[in-house]
Structure 1
């Protein structure tokens, strides 16, 4: 579980509204502009053509709907499309942009084109549009791209203009120091914030608590937590206690961790699957199977519908606990849930099998998925191949690596494990057929540069079966691979 993400998630939720576990669906089968734009899958696919077509057919365009579309696209991290809608709305003059609309567009420009473009947009704004909203949006752009000097210079301007009177501004600077690893500076920002009579909010305290925890200053962390608990304007939330529990676990303070986890659970919104997931992960770190299963049961009742992310967290936790039988039960729940297929989910169990030396079960699961027409990846098959090789079952490793290579797609990031490839090549040279060796080398050289070991395997296989190797040696020269002493030793096998 990524606890840095836990720290920052609540900030975005507070700014942009709590993210729903369900995508919006139109309640009536009536075509809307939203229903035209929302399904445009690729985040980089242009939406301007859809907007123009809507107008061309005489349909009304309501500003409120465009704003809602922008809001939804931002939630889904489809920032390029959100920016296109915002810029189109501005270009068409559908409404006079207020500082809030400018701030949204500035933020999107920063996300899509970088802080330089955001800075240029800001500089071209009219003076009346340069308010705390647009100044704050530009500060956020600087912070997001870790521009320390620009962030601090911009903050100073905001102070001079009286725009640094909210917690959000100081939170941004604390985020900057957190993201650049300068945790020791975070408490100083918190102190300055209070001196300037700006009340810290939940996120202010949480980021300060996190910095103390990262610095292993548990006394400072506990002091900040106690102060936060005593603030009348602060409603304590589950994720603050979860952050604290995580640092107690890392420090080996189990009792304190459990106490923080109990407090976190008391603050959970019954429908907050994210909260349950974090607590499940933390109890797994403590090795507490009973609590993991209890919270999973509560989550299923509370959230009614549980999404793939929930299954991923639960399966990761069970595999961490070496509870593979329980993981198999959860996997069956997922299979019957009706959720969309996601290879990451069965792959968690596959990885668990491999770690426990149950490579036959891992292979069987992959075969079963393929029989059902489900997508598998070369990485999964490659991992099973490595497991077989480690157990000395080279023929099985060969079969699994063939499956991995058959799924290879250029520029998708996967490369075969060279140790596994070498082991299989040695085996093919000593025991494999000429056809198997040829086909394997042909597949491998599509993924990694051809090398001497590949040719040595081919030479040995051909010589063992009484085949001529003249053409093979010519291919070797064409690939600019010179003969070495081992090559000569292999060739000497012909006359023995």
Structure 2
């Protein structure tokens, strides 16, 4: 009897085990199948929504609304996914298409009734500020329910004030975040630190960093970058050294080439070229051959500042070998080479660029035109301007400003005045030209005793609204009495 009972229990246990195993297998199989279906649905939705983004992408003009296109998408019976829409807003923001990003954000709540979380509200606040201004952003913030005004929303408001350089409101917002126990992350502090740095208020910057230290809030790479930039701006060599050492010893962070570049620029400004060169070598050690053009541009600029022509040329060849060279890099290397009055090398670089450029950017030959004019090589400057024009380049105001001085030095006063007028016409609504571009002309004419030529230029400057009536009168008086007070006249 006992043996039968044991056999019965054994059989029941085996059956139970099989049933249990089958149930677990069924549940696992069901779970896997469900996840596969979800994954397929996400892929289909993503592909469908990407088709919507492809419709929106070509509409680069912010004056053209994307709302009709979104409405049409829905009218066609197509589905929308809030996760994808959020991703689209992120993409539009990265392309600086803030108006369209805001339109999509508004459409999500006004037309699709999608419930926003705090992150969505923070992004909308930022977009409203960028598109409609700070007052509208403040109005939006004030209408957000208090319980939803978390760290993301307050940080967005703080960043808006920082971007407006509104110190008082930024500090008030920071204090409110302290009162609400929201000021506990480096991201929050970095915003105000940035504003203090921009305003050159280094005492408040130090005080805020001490507050972070007292609260045990760890610095991140942005914090260190701001601190290092402040030391570099004030030529505080010890501060630069200590901060670099601190960053190098921080095992939690990733050492980036920008750190050493900031340090190098500070050393150059302070006149410690050996220390600067040491930092630049460390920059090279952190960038790969495929590094961004930005890294090479910075290196070339700083080696030029250190007076190392061979290093400039070496880096330029290395960059060309491993990267597609952009116009921006030519704009960087041309003045770097010309710092050494190496016109021949600059001419070769310009020829390289002209042989492969798709769009003729007059800013690049302008560097060489300016060098020719400084050297009195007027014919070469004129020839280059003609060549640039034939290749599709359009001389800008600076092209003409450079050559005005060359004409004056060559005794071609009438031609200089005519060219200056051309420069001011081309200038259009651009920012006012550097005073040096025309004070040099006045100084030359004064020394030559050409009162009539100087008066023509002064009146022309007034006609083109470059100077006010008061400045015009002072300049005319200075010319007539033989003074050379053409600096700081505004």
TM-score category of the 2 structures, normalised to the smaller one: 0.7 to 0.9
User: How far has the Cα of 1:61 moved from its partner?
Assistant: 4.8
The residue correspondences of 1:374-453 to structure 2 (distance < 5 A) are 374-394=393-413, 396-397=415-416, 400-401=419-420, 404=423, 408=426, 410-413=428-431, 417=438, 447=464
User: How far has the Cα of 1:288 moved from its partner?
Assistant: 0.8
* Aligned residue pairs, count: 413
The equivalent position to 2:93 in structure 1, one of 74, 87, 94, is 74
Q: Distance in 2 between matches of 1:103 and 1:258?
A: 43
TM-score (norm 2): 0.74
Give per-residue Cα distances to partners, 1:456-479, cap 9 Å, x unaligned: xxxxxxxxxxxxxxxxxxxxxxxx
Q: Distance in 2 between matches of 1:104 and 1:309?
A: 31
The residue correspondences of 1:88-103 to structure 2 (distance < 5 A) are 88-93=107-112, 95-103=114-122
User: How far has the Cα of 1:187 moved from its partner?
Assistant: 2.3
Give per-residue Cα distances to partners, 1:236-258, cap 9 Å, x unaligned: 11111111111111111111111
Q: Which structure 1 segments of 5+ residues have no match?
A: 1-27, 431-436, 450-485, 487-496
The equivalent position to 2:190 in structure 1, one of 141, 163, 171, is 171
Whose relative contact order is higher, 1 or 2, with alpha carbons under 8 Å and at least 6 apart? 1
Say whether the 8 Å CA contact 1:378–1:414 is kept in structure 2.
no
Distance 1:414 1:153, change over 3 A: closer
User: How far has the Cα of 1:403 moved from its partner?
Assistant: 5.3
Q: Which structure 2 segments of 5+ residues have no match?
A: 1-46, 467-479, 481-490
Give per-residue Cα distances to partners, 1:63-108, cap 9 Å, x unaligned: 4554344333323333333323322333223632221121111112
Q: Distance in 2 between matches of 1:37 and 1:334?
A: 35
User: How far has the Cα of 1:332 moved from its partner?
Assistant: 2.0
Say whether the 8 Å CA contact 1:408–1:414 is kept in structure 2.
no
Partner of 1:84: 103
Compare the two structures and name the one with the higher helix fraction: 2
Distance 1:329 1:51, change over 3 A: farther
Partner of 2:202: 183
Partner of 2:169: 150
TM-score (norm 1): 0.73
SS state at 1:300 partner: helix
Partner of 1:316: 335
The equivalent position to 2:312 in structure 1, one of 292, 302, 325, is 292
Say whether the 8 Å CA contact 1:44–1:81 is kept in structure 2.
no
Instruction: Determine whether 1:228 maps to 2:247.
Output: yes
The equivalent position to 2:294 in structure 1, one of 262, 274, 285, is 274
Greater Rg by CA: 2
The equivalent position to 2:151 in structure 1, one of 115, 119, 132, is 132
The equivalent position to 2:368 in structure 1, one of 334, 338, 349, is 349
Q: Distance in 1 between matches of 2:204 and 2:386?
A: 53
The equivalent position to 2:387 in structure 1, one of 356, 368, 373, is 368
